[in-house]
Chains A and B, each alone.
Chain A
Amino acid sequence: MEVLIRPDAFFSRIFAGEVSLKVPGLIAIVGAIVTAISAYVISGPTVKLISGAAGSSASGAMGLIGAFGAIGGFFAFLIGYWIIIAGIFHVISVIFKGKGSFHRTLTAGGYGLIPIIIGGIISALLALYYIPLVKVPVISSFSDPTAVTRAIAQLYADPAMREFTQISGIISIIFLIWSANIWIFGIKHARELSIRNAVITVGIPVVLLIVYIVVTTVFGVGIPGAA
């Protein structure tokens, strides 16, 4: 709890001693599981759309598609939101002559994922409400690429789908800002940076990520691994 409301003090204490990746790794895995569940729920309409064209005989294969979505979401979160973002923090902090190993940066990055996981759980609960409301377009065959493209566009243009995408995007941004706040203090202590340099280190990728979320939310395209 301290990491959420008093991250400066938390990381000051954590990095004073020997750091361990056990807790940050566990946090990242929990976040990956939450993302996998969300991905499975959200992929439901797409699976339904595809199964409409593939026929009832392909229902087993459709289940596999949902499972692949979940697995993809799991690794996208684990790699994208933890390792890659921590790596970006580490690289940017090099400019500011940051000290400390990548091990420490990963630790800070892992703890900072907690708000994103909370946001992911809220988005998953909202998905359980919104996704059943989505009207899945019917396509009878994959032989017409135009029809398939249009059906997918219609799916993402569905009012319920659009509303969920927008709410999910807003929640992602809110909780990403909270995570960024934790990362700032985490990087500050992990890489022994000034608070100003830590803000810049974390701010650059986070702002870019927020821009990406806004753009994709407006255009209705899903964000891999996003809550």
Chain B
Amino acid sequence: MRTLNLVLAVLLLLTGCAISGVSAQTSSDAAAQVTVTGVTLDPGVFIEEDVGTITVEITNNGAESVPIRRVTMYDADISILSSSYDTSMYLGAGNTMTFVFTVQAGVPQGIYYPTFSVDFRNAGYLRYPVELRVENDPLKISVLSKPDTFAAGKKDTVVIAVGNPRSDMVNGVVVDPSGNGLDITPSSYFVGNLGSDESVQVPLTITPSDNSVLTILVNYKNGVNNHQSSLQVPIRLGASKLQANPILSNIQVVYENGKYSVTGDVTNAGLQVANSVVVTSGDGATPVAPYQQYVVGSLQPDDFSSFEVTFTAPDNTSTIPLAVQFKDADGNQFEQTTMVEIPPASTGGGEAPGFPLPVIVLLVVLAVVIAGVVWYSWRKSHEPSP
């Protein structure tokens, strides 16, 4: 009987061990059916010091639920800001679970592999290295076109391009131009998303009042992280190579009837149209009727028109300025001044001098001789013919 009991006890022990071994084998098989089915990084590519999230999705492809003790992520370089999932849970057959970890890439540019780890209860671990790229390339700003020189008060266009050399898109891109003494339109330009290796052109209309620096700030987001790129463009005032250039020529000055009359041609020697061209006398002269001002109108490049202005000037004035006012296509007013010599008022410039003495003598002699001939012919007409 005692022998029988012993045999039974051994059999029970062996049976228990067998059952226990079968149970452990079953848990491992079930855990092996759990796989990582998705990894999402936000942002897709980090910039140094960026904070973002890594979202890992696992799926139980088996027919049994799998008990999970702990889910965590760890890495020697990448900081994991969020806590591990320490709560025991079951991942049911055919179910999917998502785990999100907040990380900070306080590391230099490079590729890193923080490890996603799932601790199965009595069935080991699932470890999955997640690729995390860190690139420090900022958005690039370039000037596509701008005038060689700017003119004070004249509107000109600067076209910039914002390009994304990064491996992933950035979002919330906003161009903010600024500068002292600069009237800029638009004051801000919203671009939005800018994909990898894409660029966008932004035309800026600049009206400077003085020499200045145009600062172009491009604010953008990489995930939840704000970043900024900038470019400075010097704005130098000077004579534009293209702008209209009215030149006065063929100037004739005549003093008559108590006033000066200046006539001449005004030619547009520039490459742009001069609108609303007006010629008038400048400081030192007092415009008088009938031509206080002479409205020429519009002058195309290389076109010309005549003008006439009348004015009075104080005695002993030898030069007076002639002002040519014109506008560009945007209505900006310009003025060019040309100094013109004027003859003394007392000499009556333009009047023909008297006849030279030899000519007067010639005319008198001719008149006398012919008068004599006529008188002689009449005297002889009363005499009978020989």
Assuming the contacts A144-B306, A157-B350, A159-B353, asked whether A8 and B250 have C-beta atoms less than 8 A apart, the reply is no
Interface string of B341-381 (1 = CB under 8 A from A): 00000000011110100010011001100100110111011
A-contacting residues, B68-124, CB 8 Å? none
Q: Are B370 and A178 in contact (CB under 8 A)?
A: yes
Q: Are B352 and A163 in contact (CB under 8 A)?
A: yes
* CB within 8 Å: A-B pair count: 86
Residue of B with least CB distance to A179:
B370
Q: Are A185 and B381 in contact (CB under 8 A)?
A: yes
Interface string of A150-186 (1 = CB under 8 A from B): 1000100101001100110011001101100110010
Assuming the contacts A147-B305, A163-B355, asked whether A181 and B366 have C-beta atoms less than 8 A apart, the reply is no
B263 within 8 A of A: yes
Q: Are A170 and B363 in contact (CB under 8 A)?
A: yes
A5 within 8 A of B: yes
Q: Are A154 and B374 in contact (CB under 8 A)?
A: no
A7 within 8 A of B: yes
A-contacting residues, B240-263, CB 8 Å? 249-250, 252, 263
Q: State how many residues of chain A have any CB contact under 8 Å with chain B.
A: 38
Q: Are B377 and A174 in contact (CB under 8 A)?
A: no
In the complex, which residues of chain A have a beta carbon less than 8 angstroms from the beta carbon of B377?
A: 5-8, 181-182, 185
In the complex, which residues of chain A have a beta carbon less than 8 angstroms from the beta carbon of B334?
A: none
B304 within 8 A of A: yes
Q: Are A147 and B304 in contact (CB under 8 A)?
A: yes
B265 within 8 A of A: yes
Q: Are B380 and A6 in contact (CB under 8 A)?
A: yes
Q: Is the interface of A mostly helix, strand, loop or mixed?
A: helix
Name the contact of B304 in the complex, choosing from A140, A150, A195 (C-beta under 8 A).
A140
A20 within 8 A of B: no
A92 within 8 A of B: no
Cα(A167)–Cα(B352), bound, Å? 13
Cα(A62)–Cα(B370), bound, Å? 39
Cα(A157)–Cα(B351), bound, Å? 9
B-contacting residues, A48-100, CB 8 Å? none
Minimum CB–CB distance from A227 to chain B (whole Å) comes to 12
Cα(A126)–Cα(B381), bound, Å? 34
Assuming the contacts A13-B385, A163-B352, A171-B363, asked whether A115 and B304 have C-beta atoms less than 8 A apart, the reply is no
In the complex, which residues of chain A have a beta carbon less than 8 angstroms from the beta carbon of B305?
A: 144, 146-147
In the complex, which residues of chain B have a beta carbon less than 8 angstroms from the beta carbon of A144?
A: 265, 304-306
Q: Are B380 and A9 in contact (CB under 8 A)?
A: yes
Cα(A174)–Cα(B267), bound, Å? 47
In the complex, which residues of chain B have a beta carbon less than 8 angstroms from the beta carbon of A154?
A: 252, 263
A29 within 8 A of B: no
Q: Are B370 and A174 in contact (CB under 8 A)?
A: yes
Q: Are A115 and B363 in contact (CB under 8 A)?
A: no
Q: Are B306 and A150 in contact (CB under 8 A)?
A: yes
Minimum CB–CB distance from B108 to chain A (whole Å) comes to 70
A41 within 8 A of B: no
Chain B residues with a Cβ under 8 A of chain A: 249-250, 252, 263, 265, 267, 303-306, 350-353, 355, 359, 362-363, 366-367, 370, 373-374, 376-378, 380-381, 385-386
22 chain-A/chain-B pairs, Cβ below 8 angstroms: A6-B377, A8-B377, A8-B380, A9-B381, A115-B370, A122-B366, A137-B252, A138-B249, A140-B304, A141-B304, A144-B306, A147-B304, A150-B306, A154-B252, A159-B350, A167-B359, A174-B363, A174-B366, A174-B370, A177-B370, A185-B377, A195-B381
16 further A-B contacts with Cβ under 8 Å, apart from A144-B304, A174-B370, are A4-B373, A5-B377, A7-B377, A8-B377, A8-B380, A13-B385, A122-B366, A139-B250, A146-B306, A159-B350, A163-B353, A163-B355, A171-B366, A174-B363, A175-B366, A185-B377
